[in-house]
Amino acid sequence: MKRRRYHLLITAGPTREPIDPVRFISNHSTGTLGYTLARLAVRRGHRVTLITGPTELAAPGGIRRVDVETAGEMEQALTKAFGKADALIMGAAVADFRPIRVSTQKIKRSGVSGSLRLWELELIENPDIVAGAARHRKPHQVIVGFALETERLLANARAKLKSKNLDAIVATQLSPKGKGRGPFGADPVDGAILDKSGRTKSFVRLPKTLLAARILATVESLLASRQ
């Protein structure tokens, strides 16, 4: 039986929130899983739009790539593309906060006062992009989110799955110090895929190529059930 072809919107990589022209807030995301998902989705015959934060990775051929830097830019690009997609796989590690004020010039050490040279940085929350997409979805659209946790992996993932109105969530556990960089980079990862029906499929030291295949199979199954 021929696999149905869907339009998948995939986000990948980190966002960068500027402090001044040379500094920014970000995270350790490399974009590896998001790019692996995009590459495999094309091989499986799907049409792919990849919205990516800054990474060192080469985009796979046969996709539409949209480059962004900040969470605000990612939200704008996603809002523009989401209406034409069948599914959103929110693989990007979007920065939760951004500076309230961004200096137009490099902040100098000489501008920091006090004996301890204390410099305060005020932050404000970024938009919750995946929750916003879920509020405006069409009945047939599927949304998969991600949760990186340092504790209470399944409990925190279930709470996020429900609060953001997702169809499924990929929960990954941060590796203990000295045990690899997982889930960052190419290292295998520990975690689980949970869906809103209550199913939980755990995995241990799973290569990201196999995790991407499991995520896509989950998305395809959810989409097929809504046809």
Is residue 159 scored above 70 in pLDDT? yes
* Residue 36, in any domain of the structure: yes
Asked, as a colleague might, if the bond just before 183 is cis with ω within 30 of 0, I would say yes
Question: Residue 136: which CATH number?
Answer: 3.40.50.10300
Residue 187 sits in which domain range?
Answer: 7-98+121-224
What is the pLDDT, as a whole number, of residue 193? 97
Work out the pLDDT band at 108, boundaries 50, 70, 90.
confident
Work out the pLDDT band at 139, boundaries 50, 70, 90.
very high
What is the pLDDT, as a whole number, of residue 178? 46
* Residue 105, in any domain of the structure: no
Does the pTM surpass 0.85? The reply is: yes
Is residue 164 scored above 50 in pLDDT? yes
What is the pLDDT, as a whole number, of residue 144? 98
Q: What is the mean pLDDT of residues 138-166?
A: 94
* Residue 110, in any domain of the structure: no
* Residue 143, in any domain of the structure: yes
Q: Any idea which residue has 């998902």 for tokens?
A: 37
What is the pLDDT, as a whole number, of residue 173? 87
| 165 included as an active-site residue | no
Eight-state DSSP code of residue 70: S
Query: Which residue of the set 27, 126, 156, 165 is catalytic?
Result: 27
Give, in order, the Cα–Cα distances in Å from 198 to each of 58, 133, 168, 215, 227. Answer: 36, 22, 10, 16, 21
* Residue 114, in any domain of the structure: no
Q: What is the mean pLDDT of residues 26-46?
A: 95
Q: How many domains does the chain have?
A: 1
Angle at 136 between CA 162 and CA 80, to 5 degrees: 125
Q: What gap in Å lies between CA 47 and CA 59, rounded to an integer?
A: 14
* Residue 107, in any domain of the structure: no
Read off the pLDDT of residues 51-105 as tens digits, 9 standing for 90 and up.
999 999 998 899 999 999 999 999 999 999 999 999 999 999 999 999 999 999 9
Residue 31: closest CA among 51, 10, 50, 57: 57
Q: What is the mean pLDDT of the chain?
A: 91
* Residue 91, in any domain of the structure: yes
What is the pLDDT, as a whole number, of residue 226? 82
**Top-confidence residue, 87 or 149:** 87
Q: 194: which strand partners? A: 169, 200
Q: What is the mean pLDDT of residues 126-154?
A: 94
